[in-house]
Structure 1
Amino acid sequence: MTSRRIALVVNPTSGRGLGARVAPVVQRRLEAGGLDVDRYETTCAEDVGRISAEVVASGADGVALVGGDGTLHLGAQVLAESGMPFGVIPAGTGNDFARGLGVPLKDPVAAADLIVAGRTRAVDLAVAEGRFITTVVAGGFDSLVNKRANAMTWPKGNARYTLATLAELRTFTPLSYVLTVDGERIETDAMLVAVGTGPTYGGGLQICAGAEIDDGRLDITIIRPVSRLTLLQMFPKLSKGTHLGHPAVHTLRGATVRLESPTVTAYADGEILGPLPVDIGIAPGALTVYG
């Protein structure tokens, strides 16, 4: 019986060096599980897509990608619709795609075991601006927080999002939006609008609580205007998904979303997507994952 050949693609700088520390542990576990491992290391963001394309062309049986949501986003651009199984080894700040898949976040050996087991399933990706998106498109207060958090060098981990949230709250005012969901036009003022295939962003905030990553639908969450204090009080609820009972929170589901607001820059998978308007669609079952 021929053993499976896995390409281990490592972003050594993800998670402030966590990727480099995790990689040898994962490689040993994959090899102990009987897999042949070809290891690749990225030196810049552009490497992820190039290496992923090389892996697809090489005829490997699958890919294990060590990195955070930004790294996975780049890999997904090549691996989506390729049919090549894709294993996630979380090593970033947010790790929201891994969280949505149910991959163990703090146990790289357990994450590697999912690849060794070899079971696969197909999951959905959102599509916007010609790009595949693995988690959530953020537009509004949350995208401003994302921008600020990305620019911060301290503190590490999710605490960056907390500090960025407090900083943005000082000056934020509600925004005017036009949403078109499956052809139905909605005009509303809101603090934010989020559109995702999975439930979380920002390192575990369940903005689209209850979203299923393989149901062929986009989940939309609108937080209508509230006071700054109320918005601040909502953030702990976002971690648990209990914000959905708040009267200012409105949720929708659909296959296509057009999001418009004159001053908003959208973020997706924690990175800049571009200024609104943006059209978001769904690619059902676009990515094959281990787990």
Structure 2
Amino acid sequence: MSTEDPDRTRTVARSRLLARCAVLAAAAAVVSLFVPFGSGGLLVVGSGLVGLALAAAGVWWFLAHRGPVRLLGALLAVGTPVAVLVLYVDSGLWPAALTALAFWVVSLSCARRALHRPGRGHRTRPARPPRRPVLLMNPKSGGGKVEKFGLVGKAEALGARVELLGPTGPDGEFADVTELARAAVADGADLLGVAGGDGTQALVAAVAAEHGLPFLVISAGTRNHFAMDLGLDREDPSRCLDALRDGEELRVDLGDVDGRPFVNTVSFGVYADVVQRPEYRDAKAETALTVMPDLLAGGQGRRFDAVADDNRLPAQQALLVSNNPYSSPDPFGGARRPRLDRGTLGVVGVRVEGAAQAADLAVRGALSTGLNVFSARRVEVTAEAAELPVAVDGEALSLPTPVVCTVRPRALRVLVPRDRPGVPAAPPLNWRRIIVLAFGRRLGGTSHG
């Protein structure tokens, strides 16, 4: 007779209790809309869904049009939620709506905690301090974080050699980051690291992976998505340097798009077209608002087809391929990747033809016909044009069609501080798993990692 691990038994029992709390809270959210408020629950739900759809339609008109139609879209996007709130207050339905919302928040919190399994994050192993680390630092990245946090001096005090990235030629061109990394390896570096944006991180990471060297991420970029999903401190990048003296190593996947590495995402379509504009770097929001109408409703936006393993995605307006799936289909909205070592790509395809489909997308989310969400090991993108604009980790490129994205499982050794503030991202919310976990017969008989 086998004996259950007591720690595992307690963990699964705790997850089951949280799953039951999640189901009960969800049921309470529904009941609170109808008892004791009578038919008011239908009005709360109906008006909320209608308001969400109208607001989404307003956002579409704001992005896809100019002039009076854009103004109307802005008024609708802002005014509809206000009108719904006024309706709730005027009809005396706000207690029902507020109570249901509170129960729903509790339900979501319990559900995500139930699916989280301690010890199921990235596996780490002890790492020896490197003897000849070489760090490449971009002084301009992240608004000057290298200087602001004194990264050069702190790194050199820990025994690292620092190479500053900057103009090298008479025309102001920058040195090739990949060549600098290769030269460092040839000179005996036993670790490569980067303080800069995710695009630069990916290029140096590929060299580290090629030579089997550990790689150090220093969160000195603007957004630092890769650092966030590794659990690193994005507020104080100097804490990343602690890995040089007290670190541990983990293995993560490395994405590949036509031979170019990426650590986060490859974007096709609307976003990639916006990034291609030369004025985008200095005025992101203004550039997007200026060109969006032409891309979305003016017929100038490129359509393309994609195949994610065996799933066909025809005539897409936008496609995002990520190095491992995000926890929700909206990585731009702050979503995270629970794991970076599953050996799969995340795929999000968008095809929205007008305000009605935008409203459907807002109400139905991933169930909408305008949104396709998959996991795949290979994604191929084709188009009539000989080349496609592509944004690789936010960097604008043009690649010959067809464009193929793949993933190299556990190709990269990443050195991280043993003490890092980040917490594991919540796994994707799966209500079927929650229900099975809550009411399954066997204590350890479900898989909910």
Q: TM-score, normalised by structure 1?
A: 0.79
1:177 aligns with 2:304: yes
Q: Are the counterparts in 2 of residues 30 and 112 from structure 1 also a CA contact under 8 Å?
A: no
1:168 aligns with 2:291: yes
The answer for the alignment partner of 2:145 in structure 1 is 18
Query: Residue 252 of structure 1 aligns to which amino acid in structure 2?
Result: F
The answer for the alignment partner of 2:435 in structure 1 is none
Q: CA deviation at 1:231?
A: 5.8
The answer for the alignment partner of 1:50 in structure 2 is 179
Relative to structure 1, the CA distance from residue 123 to residue 232 in structure 2 (aligned partners, 3 Å threshold; closer, same or farther) is farther
Q: Distance in 2 between matches of 1:13 and 1:2?
A: 28
1:219 aligns with 2:346: yes
Q: Distance in 2 between matches of 1:282 and 1:5?
A: 29
Q: Are the counterparts in 1 of residues 274 and 280 from structure 2 also a CA contact under 8 Å?
A: no
The answer for the alignment partner of 2:223 in structure 1 is 94
Give the number of the structure whose alpha-carbon radius of gyration is greater.
2
The unaligned stretches of length 5 or more in structure 2 are 1-127, 168-173, 417-449
Aligned pair partner of 1:261 in 372, 377, 383: 383
Relative to structure 1, the CA distance from residue 29 to residue 7 in structure 2 (aligned partners, 3 Å threshold; closer, same or farther) is closer
Q: CA deviation at 1:102?
A: 2.6
Q: CA deviation at 1:244?
A: 4.3
Q: Distance in 1 between matches of 2:155 and 2:382?
A: 47
The answer for the alignment partner of 2:412 in structure 1 is 287
Query: Residue 278 of structure 1 aligns to which amino acid in structure 2?
Result: V
Relative to structure 1, the CA distance from residue 8 to residue 193 in structure 2 (aligned partners, 3 Å threshold; closer, same or farther) is same
The answer for the alignment partner of 1:251 in structure 2 is 373
Relative to structure 1, the CA distance from residue 166 to residue 14 in structure 2 (aligned partners, 3 Å threshold; closer, same or farther) is same
| Secondary structure of the corresponding residue to residue 332 of structure 2 | coil
Query: Residue 404 of structure 2 aligns to which amino acid in structure 1?
Result: D
Q: CA deviation at 1:81?
A: 2.9
Give the total of aligned pairs: 272
Aligned pair partner of 1:69 in 198, 221, 232: 198
Percent identity for Structure 1 against Structure 2: 26
The answer for the alignment partner of 1:239 in structure 2 is none
| Secondary structure of the corresponding residue to residue 105 of structure 1 | coil
The answer for the alignment partner of 1:238 in structure 2 is none
Q: Distance in 2 between matches of 1:142 and 1:206?
A: 14
Structure with the bigger percentage of strand: 1
The answer for the alignment partner of 1:105 in structure 2 is 234
Q: CA RMSD in A?
A: 3.4
- Bigger Cα displacement from structure 2, 117-126 vs 209-218: 209-218
The unaligned stretches of length 5 or more in structure 1 are 236-241
| Secondary structure of the corresponding residue to residue 9 of structure 1 | strand
Q: Distance in 2 between matches of 1:76 and 1:164?
A: 31
Matches within 5 A, 1:126-275: 126-148=255-277, 151-155=279-283, 160=284, 162-173=285-296, 175-182=302-309, 184=310, 186-198=312-324, 199=326, 205=332, 210=337, 212-227=339-354, 244=366, 248-263=370-385, 264-271=388-395, 272-275=397-400
Q: Distance in 1 between matches of 2:302 and 2:335?
A: 20
Query: Residue 295 of structure 2 aligns to which amino acid in structure 1?
Result: F
Query: Residue 152 of structure 1 aligns to which amino acid in structure 2?
Result: Y
Q: Are the counterparts in 2 of residues 225 and 248 from structure 1 also a CA contact under 8 Å?
A: yes
Relative to structure 1, the CA distance from residue 228 to residue 66 in structure 2 (aligned partners, 3 Å threshold; closer, same or farther) is farther
Q: CA deviation at 1:220?
A: 0.6
